[in-house]
Each structure stands twice: as structure tokens, then as C-alpha cells.
Structure 1
Amino acid sequence: MDEEIVRNYDKVIQPKFLAILRSIKGLSWASFILDKEGDQYKLEITTKDPSNPKWVEANAALEKAFLDSTNRKLRVDVAKSKTFEEMRFVVPRSPQPYDANSKNPFGLYSLGRSIGVEQLDYPGTLGGFITVTTEGNSRVYGLTNNHVVNIGKTTNTQPPDPTHVETGNAIYCPNYHDLEATKIQLKNTKLQNYKIAQLRAASGRSLTMPPGAAYPCIIDWALLDLNSQTLKGMLFEIPKLKANFQLPRTPQEKEAQPFPAQVTYDPNVHLVPGMVVFKWGRTTGVTSGEVKIVRSMMNIADVETWKGTIHNPQRYTEVAELVVGPRRGVPFCDSGDSGSLVVDEHGNVVGLLWARAEDDVIVTDIRVVFESIREKMGWGSNDVFSVTPNLK
């Protein structure tokens, strides 16, 4: 995609598309994103009613707006709204790796572990561990998604109030759902999962405005207070973390470009268009994807049909989300991978995964996540975040 088009998209082209879609009465849309297929630019629009005759008018106006702005032709593709998933339904049980000879048989301190709330059937992914240093004191927390662990223990659903947090929810690894599958696979009914943490804080279902952005994005994070036994175990297991994130590559690929041994955080490195990224999740393990060139514009009213009511005091009508597409024909994630950390090919954590729609995956810039956590927890600008625990 031409650099000039990418540079002007957020401030010039996208607002024109949005104005056209808003102006045509009787026309509803769920999302749109600009892409390029060979030499052809295309605008992919999703809607509940792709057969609405008003799309003829809209398509002509969108094509003209793009031609006037870029001197390039545009093809508009209108399709049925995609089905989003974010762990609102029970997913297939997944037996978890188990080493009976280890003091840490379920690999509790590895990236991408299965986690969940007590006895509930909502497995998700423990993305990893972050260290927050305030006034010289360091504390390690677990990081995952709000919708994975902010669940009512009696309702088995997310709170109706988008700002409510079920503080103190006990978090187990692996999730009860997956523990039962492991028992069946290993024919061992005595296996137990481990209570590793309690829910400390969460974003709820809310919005935030990324620095320099014209539109907000949805944030979906949860911070876990690790219990003393978990922290004690980490003293011995954390040094092994650097070997836990290895990509399935051929010997030739490993020799040409070995994956970094350490996952780190650098606030100067962030998600950019075209970036190749990786994640390790509970369901699909390690996969790679590619960040799409522009953000996906999404209608908040449509998002709320599958995510639930969003805390939106400013009454925004759209959100702009970073999207990761599949690479080499392999899906980037599946149900149960919610909460996975996303890293670049150098091992820098750049995002937090929280939803998917078919092959497209929504990822939030990790800097936006950390800033939201900082604000929620009342931490200052001098407090330091890292993803390499330092317990000394």
C-alpha cells in the first residue's frame, strides 16, 4: 500500500468514508477496513444487511471519495457481518501438558497457560507476567483479559455493569474445564489444578483514547495478584521462561533467524502496519500473523451486540481497532486464546489479544494497556513496567 495513502488514511480518507456511511439514511454497517489485493485497493465493509439497495449509492460515493483523495480506483466489497468470539461461550476442552516428574507439572509459569475462575467453564490464556516497580519496590502480576476472569461466580457471565469488577475472584491454572480433559486423557482422576492468583483489577468493558488517535479503542485487560506460593515457585521457574517461547520452525529457519530467547518490553517498540507478530495461546499455541495496514473502524452499537454494554460516557459512536490477519494460511488464534501476549520477531511485547472475527484478530497496543493499568491503579508516570520479572 502506498505510503502516502497510509499516512493520510486516518486524517483524510477514513473520515470521508465514515461521513458517507453516516449520511445515508436506512443504511447500517458493522465495520470497514481498507486493504490492497495486488494492485487493487478494496474497502471491506460488513453489515447485517448486505442486500440493502442503498449500498449501490454508498459504494459509488465511497469509490468517488477515494478517487478524489488518492487518484486511485477503489473496489467496495460488502459482506455479512462477521461473528466475533471473545470467550462468551464454552469452548472445547483441551488437555494440558503435564509432567508428573516435575515440581511444576502444569508448567504454571510458562507463557500461554490455560486459566479460569474457580470451577467455571470459561478457559482463557494467562498471557504472561509483568513487573511494576514503584518507589524502588517491584511486584509481579499476571496479565490476561477482563472477559476471561471478571466473571460472576454465581452467574457464570460477565457483570451487566461494564465498570463492575469481581475483585478477589480466585484464578486457577489450568482452567477447571481443561483439568477434566487432562484427567480423562491421562486416566488419572487425582490430578488437581492450582490456585495461582486472585483478580486484583480489570478494565471492565470500556474505551480509551490512544495518544494521537482520532477514535478510541476498546480495552480488555485484567491484572492478577499472584499468591505467595506462586511467587515462591517463580523464584525457581522464571529463569526457564526464556526457553518457553520457541516457534515451530525448520532447522533452516532456526539457523537463519532463531527466535529470541527472552521476551522483553521496550516502550519505544510498538505495533506498526505490516509488522509480523507472534502469540502463544491456550488453544493454538505459537502462531504468527501480520498487522494490517490500517485500523478497522467498528460501529459501537454493533460491537455491543456481542460484547455487552460498554462504558462510554463520551458517547462515541465508533472505535478503531488494530487487526492482525493470518500468515501462511494459518489462523492467528482460536477460542480460548484470549489474553495472549503478542510479540514481534525480536521478542518485544507489543500487544494484548482479546477477540477474533473469523480470520481477523483484534489486538490492543500494549502501551495503551499499560497506560490504562497505570491510570486505574493510580501509579505515577515514573513507575516502571517490564515483562521480565525481577524478584530480587
Structure 2
Amino acid sequence: MSTTSDISSVVGETSPRKRQRNHDGVGLAEELKIEEYLYSIDAYRVTTAPFPLPYPLKLESAPRDLTDQFRANWHAIREMLHEQGFHDNWELFPVNLSKPGYLAGHPPRPTVMAHVKGPCSRLAPFRDHLNRFLVAKGIFADVEVVDVDNCYQPGFFAIPPSHPAVEVYEKIRPQLLKQLRTQIPFEWTSLTLALLGRELYAASPSIVVTVNQQSSHNWFDLLAWVRALVSRNSPSGLAINVDFIPGRFDSSPKHFTPSQGENEVLGKHQFKSCGADGLFPLGLSIGESGQSRAGTMGGLVNFTLNGQTYKCGITNHHVIQPTVSGNEVDSRANQFGVPISQTDKLSTRMEVFASNDVAATVLFVDEEVAEVETTVAGLEETALRAELKHGKVPETLQVVLETLLSQLPLPLGNVLCSSGQGVWEGRLQDWALIELSNEALALMEPTVDMDRVWRMIDRSPPSPALVAARAAEQVIFPEKRFGQIVPGKWYTRTGRTSVVSGIANGVHVCMNWTANDMIRYDLSGSAVTMEHSETEEHLIIAQTEQSMPMSQMFGLPGDSGSLLLDQHGTICGLYYGNVTRWAEADGWVKGNAGLAMSMDDVEKGMKSRLGSDIVLSPAY
């Protein structure tokens, strides 16, 4: 183990808050919770809160009594701060501060917050003077002083596979894993190399270790060990950072509000799936009959076994796993999957759309129809008004409402087979096939319309530049085969909530399923032991080729089961979850790094589970 002096030489100038740490009485050689560690290295934030939560945080209106006290004393507070030499590079306001979904992140704490703009080397004196003044006035609240533009809240960006840091990381990765298994076996949840920063242009390569919330360790000691390992194996001039961040696997990032249960999935209108032709496109909202949870049926595939071909919808196993176990097949499904011989015995019955989404879609279409009718009624009596009043705009919406929505939710069919919660061949296995009924199949679009996909893509931030350039390639239909996820390439996820593009990270992410509290099973149905619970997964990071903030999400609740398409429309992957950063100011517990299985791994997994003679192919 490194000594404290060794740590000081490694941390040195890269920890600008070292003097502040000593001022606050936090030493370098002690065991800290991960949240305390992140606070201690942040040169741009000080607080009186007993347990500083990692940024970003959710800001809401302060309690009325705090607001009234603050307003009554505002001029005195301002005068006091000016007398102490703190002039007008700050904004001061009362607020309720919280981090929904995070341990100890709720309920909100009343706080007087100061946002500092520009250089300020005296954050701690600012906090202390303000806190003493408030206490003297009988105002009891936390005091938080932060430079929001520079405080520690990094975002993930994909590192190119050709970056020189990749070679160094791949060389030292076995030693890193060994150290993590030894030092923090139940705390670390994932390991990868990525670009970290507030914006893409300022991001730099970093070895990223996500750990469980409130994990305790001597993080500075571990930091020194990793940095020393990097230094011994890096060429001169190559800088690779090391970051420990709270985070873990989440198959359904959740949204938390004070009036909402922790596992409730908000309804999302599916108007994008209600085409005028009455056909459903890729990324279809599906749900279990009688339950509120939602998922995505990615698209159509052909599954051939023993000369018989089934036309199926593909999704994740955890999407079709029954909420309530009703029989032995249900109770054994996570462990052994759903075998074809027991297709009709799984109690799950999947529907289009998920029940919450049906209600949200009906409401949305009602509002759209009302808006169009109001607009038409307000036009002057002209030929145009007559044409609109009796024309296709309201008529199309009305047809969608009356014919399609009145029939929803529609039954999809039986689950044909699934992986269970599997780990084999070094990859997570989380797939399921739903054998579609003839009625459901007749409602599915027969082709992948990439022009429609590009039109639906989330354009905030803008879509990647390759979207604008793809017309020159004159590619109309995808190939009649699956592709695979290739590091450094762009992919588009088409799901229940959105259509989003991202880049496959230049290296895989190593997931520690034991620390993620996920019981996984091998092919024999035995629970995998800790030493075999790690897998290497594809990390898809939502970003564009333009400078952007860190908060773009790759997947939201109910997007599990989405397909990943390349720019030609070839199906390359199956999305199943995120590496969650436990961060965001708007209440979402989320991360912009998605996890996906490459289609070649899906097919290999099916062959291992169901037999080597199966054939899986796109049904488009």
C-alpha cells in the first residue's frame, strides 16, 4: 500500500482543493464514503450539509418560512458579504436541495445557495461568513457555495478505439480488475475507459470505475495505486485520469417525484407509432397484460428451428418476465429461460401498447384533434377553411383515434423462448422472442424505413452529421442480415420513448454483476459465483459530433428491448439497460451510457441455449 506521502506526490497539483481539505479537517489517508471523497476533491464547491451529495442536484422552491426570512434579510446579507470582500460575482437564493432516487438524497434539505461566477479562491470563507450570519439571524438552513460551471460533475463521451490511451488501458486492464476484486469486490460495479468532461471539446481519457452509493474505501490510496500503474505503462506525454463515480447497472432508469412511487413508469404517448396506414414501426411499446410496467419490442425477426420458421418480435427477457409468478415455468424463467417446449406455459401475456401508454396516447390524440378543430374553426370562411374543415388533417387524426386506439391494447402472442437472466461465454444474455399472432403481424411495418427513423431522431442536441450525409450513399433498404456492434461506430436506438443516436465506446465495459445485486445464471441454471460474475459489454454513449453537455440520455424507462441500427438500417444490437450515474437535476436517475448486446452475441447465445441448428435473421 502507498503511504500518505506517496499519495501526496501522486495527487499533488491535480487536487487543487488539498489546502481546503486540510482546512475542513479531512485527511488524505482515511477511509471515506464515495460521496465524501468526491466532495473532498472538488475545488469548486463547499457546503455545511452533513452529507454532501454528488452533483448535479435537484433544485426546487424553498419552504415559505425560509424564503420569507431570506427576503427580509437580503440587504443585510449583501452588505455583510461586500464588507468581507465578496463582491458581485455571485448569485444567492434559498432553495430545497435533493437528489431523488439516491441514498439519503430525499427528502429535500432547505439550503441557502450561492452560485459563484468566475474565479473565487475563497469559497470556504464565503460559506463560513454566510453561515454565521444566518445562524445569528435565526435562519437555520444548509449553506452551499458552488461554481456550477466548474464543479465536479463529469459526463461520459466515447473514446475512439484508435486513441493511444486504449492500448495502455487494454494492457493494464487485467491488473486493474485483480486490484478491484481484491480491494473492493462488493463495491465496484463497472470498469471502462472513456472520455470524461463537462463538454466533448474539453473531455479527456479517464479510467472510470463506478461503485455503489455510499461505498467506503481509502479512495486516495486506490487512486495512487492506479495512477502509478498507468504511469509505468504509458508513453511520455500521455495523460490518463482516474475517476471513481457512484453508478451501477439499471435496466430501467426511473423518474422520481414526491407524489410518485419509486417503480412507477410514466405513460408515454405513442403517436409516432400511429401511422396513417395503421402499421406499427420499429420500437413498439409493449407491456404485460394487467401490469403498469412497459418495455419495447425492437422489431421483427425470423427464427428457424428444425425446419420450422417463426416470425417473432424480439425484446429482452426482463421485459417478458412475469411480474407475479403464477406457475413453475414462471418461477424458473430467470434461471433457465423459457424453452420452446413450454411456450404456452409462461403466464405473461404481452400487449401493444403498454397500458399506461394507451391512456397517454388517447389523451394526446384527443388534444391534437381539438387543437386542429380549433384552428380550422378560427379561419375565415374561405375555400381553404372549407378544405381543411372537411379534409384530411382532422380526418386522419380522427381515424387514428377511433379505429386504432379503440382496439388497444392488442394481444401480441405467446413468448416463444428466452434466455433467462443469463451469463455465459463472457457476455450477458437478456433476450426473448414473442411469437406474433397473425392479427398482430398484420399490423407491423414490413420494412425498415430509415428516412422515418431519421425524422424521429431526438434533435436536442442535433443528430450526428452522418445523418445529413447519408442521402449521398443511396442506401434504401437494410441488408437481409444482422450486423454487429463495432467500437467507434454510430448507432441509433429506436424505442418506446425516443429515437436516439450514440457511439459505441472504443473499449468494452467490464460489469461486476455481483456488486450490481444481480443474480445471473450459467447455461446449467447455476448461479454464477463472484469470480465468474464479470462480463464485457458494449457501451453505447449518447452524443453527437458537436460540442454538447453531458446530460443526454441513451435510454429511458421502457426502452429495454430496443434495436440498434447502423446508418444503413442494418440491425446490429439489442439494448437492455444503462450504466447509471445517479445524477441529474430534473429528477431523473440516469446516465448517458447505454448497454447493448451485439446481434452476433445474441445469435450465439440462442444457439448455446436452444441448439446449434437454429437460424436467426431479420424479417425485413
TM-score in same-fold range (> 0.5): yes
1:350, 1:183 → 2: CA distance? Answer: 33
Report the alpha carbon displacement of residue 130 of structure 1 after superposing the two structures with TM: 0.6
1:386 aligned partner, one-letter code: S
1:283, 1:25 → 2: CA distance? Answer: 36
Residue in structure 2 matching 1:296, options 509, 515, 518: 509
Residue in structure 1 matched with residue 225 of structure 2 by the alignment: 61
* Aligned residue runs from structure 1 range 1-392, under 5 A: 2=162, 6=166, 9-10=169-170, 12-24=171-183, 28-36=187-195, 40-48=204-212, 52=216, 54-71=218-235, 72-82=238-248, 84-86=250-252, 89-97=263-271, 104=278, 107-108=279-280, 110-134=281-305, 138-153=309-324, 159=331, 162-163=334-335, 165=338, 167=346, 169-187=348-366, 190-209=406-425, 216-233=426-443, 237-239=445-447, 244-247=452-455, 248=457, 256-258=469-471, 260-264=475-479, 266=481, 269-284=483-498, 286-304=499-517, 308-312=518-522, 313=526, 314-315=528-529, 316-328=532-544, 329=548, 330-356=552-578, 357=580, 358-380=591-613, 383-389=614-620
2:537, 2:424 → 1: CA distance? Answer: 11
Give secondary structure in 1 for the equivalent of 2:356: helix
**How has the CA–CA distance of structure 1 residues 101 and 141 changed in structure 2, closer, same or farther, with 3 Å as cutoff?**
closer
1:281 aligned partner, one-letter code: G
2:492, 2:560 → 1: CA distance? Answer: 14
Q: Is the 8 A contact 1:183 1:191 kept in 2?
A: no
1:340 aligned partner, one-letter code: S
For normalisation by structure 2, the TM-score amounts to 0.53
1:332-361 CA distances to partner (integer Å, 9 max, x unpaired)?
221111100001122221110000121111
Residue in structure 2 matched with residue 212 of structure 1 by the alignment: none
Report the alpha carbon displacement of residue 30 of structure 1 after superposing the two structures with TM: 1.9
1:295, 1:44 → 2: CA distance? Answer: 12
2:600, 2:180 → 1: CA distance? Answer: 31
1:221-273 CA distances to partner (integer Å, 9 max, x unpaired)?
11111112233555xx4157566533448999766323854344545x42122
Which segment is superposed worse, 218-227 or 18-27? 18-27
1:99, 1:130 → 2: CA distance? Answer: 19
For normalisation by structure 1, the TM-score amounts to 0.81
1:83, 1:332 → 2: CA distance? Answer: 14
Residue in structure 1 matched with residue 9 of structure 2 by the alignment: none
1:30, 1:100 → 2: CA distance? Answer: 39
Give secondary structure in 1 for the equivalent of 2:334: coil
1:38-73 CA distances to partner (integer Å, 9 max, x unpaired)?
694311122236774522221111112222223344
More helix by share: 2
1:40, 1:242 → 2: CA distance? Answer: 33
2:505 aligned partner, one-letter code: K
**How has the CA–CA distance of structure 1 residues 86 and 299 changed in structure 2, closer, same or farther, with 3 Å as cutoff?**
same
Q: Is the 8 A contact 1:299 1:318 kept in 2?
A: yes
**How has the CA–CA distance of structure 1 residues 132 and 112 changed in structure 2, closer, same or farther, with 3 Å as cutoff?**
same
Q: Give the unaligned 5+ runs of structure 1.
A: 210-215
Q: Is the 8 A contact 2:168 2:230 kept in 1?
A: no
**How has the CA–CA distance of structure 1 residues 103 and 201 changed in structure 2, closer, same or farther, with 3 Å as cutoff?**
same
Which segment is superposed worse, 349-358 or 136-145? 136-145
Report the alpha carbon displacement of residue 7 of structure 1 after superposing the two structures with TM: 5.0
Q: Is the 8 A contact 1:176 1:193 kept in 2?
A: yes
Alignment root-mean-square deviation, CA = 3.4
Residue in structure 1 matched with residue 119 of structure 2 by the alignment: none
2:541 aligned partner, one-letter code: G
Q: Is the 8 A contact 2:300 2:313 kept in 1?
A: yes
1:121, 1:363 → 2: CA distance? Answer: 24
1:99, 1:270 → 2: CA distance? Answer: 26
2:361, 2:186 → 1: CA distance? Answer: 49
Q: Give the unaligned 5+ runs of structure 2.
A: 1-159, 197-201, 255-262, 339-344, 367-400, 581-590
**How has the CA–CA distance of structure 1 residues 244 and 201 changed in structure 2, closer, same or farther, with 3 Å as cutoff?**
farther
Give secondary structure in 1 for the equivalent of 2:312: strand
1:100, 1:347 → 2: CA distance? Answer: 21
**How has the CA–CA distance of structure 1 residues 371 and 261 changed in structure 2, closer, same or farther, with 3 Å as cutoff?**
same
1:20, 1:240 → 2: CA distance? Answer: 46
Q: Is the 8 A contact 2:300 2:311 kept in 1?
A: yes
**How has the CA–CA distance of structure 1 residues 101 and 273 changed in structure 2, closer, same or farther, with 3 Å as cutoff?**
closer
1:272, 1:138 → 2: CA distance? Answer: 29
Q: Which entry has the higher C-alpha Rg, 1 or 2?
A: 2
Residue in structure 2 matched with residue 213 of structure 1 by the alignment: none
Residue in structure 1 matched with residue 38 of structure 2 by the alignment: none
More strand by share: 1
Give secondary structure in 1 for the equivalent of 2:357: helix
**How has the CA–CA distance of structure 1 residues 30 and 375 changed in structure 2, closer, same or farther, with 3 Å as cutoff?**
closer
**How has the CA–CA distance of structure 1 residues 261 and 115 changed in structure 2, closer, same or farther, with 3 Å as cutoff?**
farther
2:469, 2:414 → 1: CA distance? Answer: 42
Aligned residue pairs total 368
